[in-house]
Amino acid sequence: GIGRLADENNWGAYLVGGFVRDLLLGVPNLDLDIVVVGSAPKLAEKLSAEFGGNVRVHEKFNTATVHLPSDIKVDFATARKEFYEYPAALPTIEETNLREDLYRRDFTVNALAICLNRDEFGLLIDFFCGYSDLEEQRIRLLHNLSFIEDPTRILRAVRFEQRYQFQLEPQTAHVLSNAVAEEALKNISPDRVWNELKLIFAENDPVKSLRRLAELGIWPQIIPGLEWKNSIQESLNKVIPVITAVADITGVSLERWLVFLTVILRETDETSAVAWLDQLSITKEQRSSLKRCLEEDSAAMLQDLETPGPGELHKLLKDCSPLGMALILLFIKGQVEQNVYQYFRLRTRLPQLLKMDGKVLGKMGIEPGPVYGKVLFALEAAVLEGKVETVQDQQRFVR
């Protein structure tokens, strides 16, 4: 439909960027990027008028985004028409505009285009040998100033390299290490770096990229004061399994970035960590819960217990939040780790195991008051220990 709508206006429309790259790699991708040699906002509006969904136009940048009802997102950008003197025999204006647009991009594998207009529908346009770089599994820059012009690309290079298990082409690797040596990432706002970091946390296997950032010496420019020790690896590897365990136990899905960031910031000197956090656009709640996580060390407190039973752990961990639970499971080691897991699992069954509540206590003739909380808490601990299973046992325990 996009090609037809563009044809009606005599505009060129090309699929570009990550969608084309992933199409050629056979990887699913639901985000379409379209370059329009014409008007991106108008083409977006036409698309949505015909197929439904919402359009958001950014007049200033001459771009628009359509969220189609089928969950597909289509970004439209207008190929900038710049003043240019064309020698008569050179390519058409349309081709030059597309080439210019693609040349501004980060890597050759992201600078491929597919024509959507009817006459050349499906034609792969490859000005910069992106296809052979895909085949050779290379991340290659389009020009040497790219990392300096847009330092977020340093992090993108690592993300794509690790996602597809590609290699940085030697010249690109060289330009990257120069940009790192020049501390290029310090020239952009912490928030822009943060956005890229969040994209890394959202990858299938973020730990590979996080480790690669360390190998390339990039971390000190992302979070000043972070000292990357190899021991961090063990906790990072546990993040995703722990988030899954917490979701199984509590039904709460913790945000990945929150847990990864906590692990990383615990390796950062505290003043720098707090100063860095204060610069990020995150919610007040997120900021304060992260700061609390930096101070809290429940895992260390539990570590000294040898083989604590569920009752004892209940006394310590009854009010533990899902994030607190994740931190404990991340940092606890040795025998006690099994006990803690067992306790958290058992705790989810407490509502079925506990046969008493305030009403029952009332019927037993116990005067309502703060004593109810204490009695029920002691009962919970005993139930978790498996000491009082039946209603009769539990009543006897209360008496």
The SS3 call for residue 226 is strand
Q: How many CA atoms lie within 13 A of 342 on its CB side?
A: 15
Q: Is 105 in the site for ligand CTP (CB under 6 A)?
A: yes
Q: In the complex with ligand CTP, which residue's Cβ is closer, 45 or 150?
A: 150
Count of residues that interact with ligand CTP, criterion CB under 6 A: 12
Distance CA 381, CA 377 (A): 6
Q: How far is the CB of 328 from ligand CTP (least distance, A)?
A: 33
Q: How far is the CB of 15 from ligand CTP (least distance, A)?
A: 11
Q: Is 31 in the site for ligand CTP (CB under 6 A)?
A: yes
Cβ contacts of residue 205 below 8 Å, gap of 6+?
A: 162
Stretch that binds ligand CTP, among 151-159, 328-336, 357-365, 378-386 (CB under 6 A): 151-159
Stretch that binds ligand CTP, among 104-112, 206-214, 232-240, 338-346 (CB under 6 A): 104-112
39: buried, middle or exposed (CB in 10 Å: 19+, 13-18, 0-12)? middle
State how far Cα 85 lies from the chain centre. 44
Q: Is 110 in the site for ligand CTP (CB under 6 A)?
A: yes
Q: How far is the CB of 161 from ligand CTP (least distance, A)?
A: 12
Q: How far is the CB of 241 from ligand CTP (least distance, A)?
A: 24
Q: In the complex with ligand CTP, which residue's Cβ is closer, 156 or 266?
A: 156
- Please state the length of the chain: 399
Q: In the complex with ligand CTP, which residue's Cβ is closer, 143 or 374?
A: 143
Near ligand CTP by CB under 6 A: residue from 5, 6, 33, 161: 33
The bridge status of strand 63-67 relative to strand 54-58 is antiparallel
**DSSP letters spanning 360-396:** HHHHTTPPPSTHHHHHHHHHHHHHHTTS--SHHHHHH
Near ligand CTP by CB under 6 A: residue from 42, 140, 153, 314: 153
Q: In the structure encoding, which two tokens stand for residue 54, read together?
A: 């919402």
Residues 261 to 300 in contact with ligand CTP, rule: CB under 6 A: none
Near ligand CTP by CB under 6 A: residue from 11, 65, 106, 310: 106
**CA distances for 129 relative to 109, 124, 161, 172, 320, angstroms:** 8, 11, 17, 15, 55
Near ligand CTP by CB under 6 A: residue from 152, 221, 235, 262: 152
Q: How far is the CB of 163 from ligand CTP (least distance, A)?
A: 8
Distance CA 272, CA 278 (A): 10
Near ligand CTP by CB under 6 A: residue from 3, 12, 17, 130: 17
Q: How far is the CB of 173 from ligand CTP (least distance, A)?
A: 18
DSSP-based helix, strand, coil % in the chain, nearest 5: 60, 10, 30
| Contact assessment for residue 320 and residue 244, using Cβ atoms and an 8 Å cutoff | no
Near ligand CTP by CB under 6 A: residue from 7, 94, 95, 150: 150
Q: In the complex with ligand CTP, which residue's Cβ is closer, 150 or 385?
A: 150
The SS3 call for residue 110 is helix
Stretch that binds ligand CTP, among 47-55, 103-111, 244-252, 339-347 (CB under 6 A): 103-111
Q: Which residues bind ligand CTP (CB under 6 A)?
A: 17-18, 31, 33, 105-106, 110-111, 150, 152-153, 156
